[in-house]
Homo-oligomer: A and B are copies of this chain.
Amino acid sequence: MQAEILATGDEIRTGALIDSNSAYIAEILLSVGLDVVRHSCVGDELEALVAILREIGDRSQFCVVTGGLGPTVDDLSSQAAAMAADVELIFHEEALRDIQAFFDRIGRTMNLPNRKQAYLPKGSDCLRNPVGTAPGFSMMIGRCRFCFLPGVPKEMKRMMAEHVVPIARQSLGAEATVYRIFTITTFGLTESGVDERLTGFAERFPELKLGMRAKFPEIQVKLYGQGTDPKRVDADLSVAAEHVRSLLGPSVISMSGESMAEVVGRLLRENGKTLSLAESCTGGLLADLVTSVSGSSDYFLFSGVTYSNQAKTAILKVNPDTIRKFGAVSEETAGEMALGAKAVSGADYALSTSGIAGPTGGTPEKPVGTVCIGVAGPGFASAKRYHFKYGGRDRNKTAFAVKALDLLRQSLITGKDPFQS
């Protein structure tokens, strides 16, 4: 059953506010089994509202509308819905009682404009709003079932669960379908590289849809399945996911959509190991990625973000001669940084980064994008030099940090020095 989402309001139309409601509503409608085909947004303008409600009424079978239910002159949803369906606005005694009850609850006096909120299109069902003043309503326009909700996210979410989901299920009747997403995280391939390897997927799995989402430098491959038999959909997705894994090989880092930092965190926790870091060019980003995983204090001990050479020697105990002889950006310095971070914090593993994120600081031998990554673990400590060509400072920092985590990931899986395998 084809569904749409309509956001109303000048704040969204003019870009003053980013519409996050529609994404929330889309995920819920899809999970119930509706096929969301379009989102739209129009401003607080009666003619534009009536036109788009009629369009959707002709085109789809289900629609959730947000916004325009308040007491002000800008709030035109009831009036527009009544005009689009060619019916009158009727005073709803029940709606007024709800509004009154809300004001009583929060200890305020109801204003005259709030009475306007009790006028709803004839033939519509009032959708009670337990957390705000604006009641919603549900009605047919054309061949489409519309649900009108407030734009305030908290109220919208509560009413999605209490009203819209049951109405959507009822509208679907026997047609009820389930909808599932399987997410595979990859690292080390470009989007087009992933795509090339997955050529022929659509022919092999015509019942599934394939999507891709770049979260630089990771790429998520998403498999979308839907059908009336949940077991069948899950089984189809499992087969297809294994096929994708076999095509993408070692670039697959998670079969459940985890980020690199989440994978590394899980492996550290499963192995009962702790981690410290020594960062130069990543400037705290590596620690930030690691600690953005909730519960990371179970395994993360310390990061020494050492921009100055003095900090590298004083805190991480890097030998000043090493820096003098090989430079701060060298395998030698990176190796000693990792060892130092491990020793000073008593961690089981340590990672280090020293490189040139740009835009300045590059030399012919060590251009922008050069990074030396060190890994220290039980019985080993080594480092390797890489050169990334992503251009911008932020992308270089991110690429360096995620590459370091990937080396740790490999080491945690094999139990070995990642540069020796």
Contacts and interface: CB of A to CB of B under 8 A. Distances in A.
Interface of A: 7, 10-20, 22-28, 30, 36-45, 48, 52, 70-74, 105-108, 111-114, 131, 133, 152, 181, 190-196, 199, 202, 209-214, 222, 224, 276-277, 279, 283-292, 294-297, 300-308, 310-311, 314-315, 344-346, 358-361, 387, 389-391, 393-394, 397
A393 B284 contact: no
Contact of A39 (B13, B199, B291, B387): B13
B211 A11 contact: yes
A303 B315 contact: no
24 contacts: A7-B39, A13-B37, A13-B38, A13-B39, A15-B23, A15-B24, A15-B26, A16-B181, A18-B20, A37-B48, A72-B212, A73-B195, A73-B210, A74-B211, A105-B389, A106-B389, A107-B389, A133-B192, A276-B311, A283-B296, A284-B303, A287-B305, A314-B345, A315-B315
Main secondary structure of the interface of A (DSSP, over half): mixed
Nearest to A201: B73
Contacts of A70: 191-192
B292 A305 contact: no
Nearest to A390: B106
Contacts of A24: 15
A291 B10 CA distance: 30
Nearest to A314: B344
Contacts of A16: 23, 27, 181, 211-213, 222
* Of listed A7, A195, A199, A360, residue having the most chain B CB within 10 A: A195
Contacts of A38: 13, 40-42, 48, 52
Contact of A211 (B23, B44, B152): B44
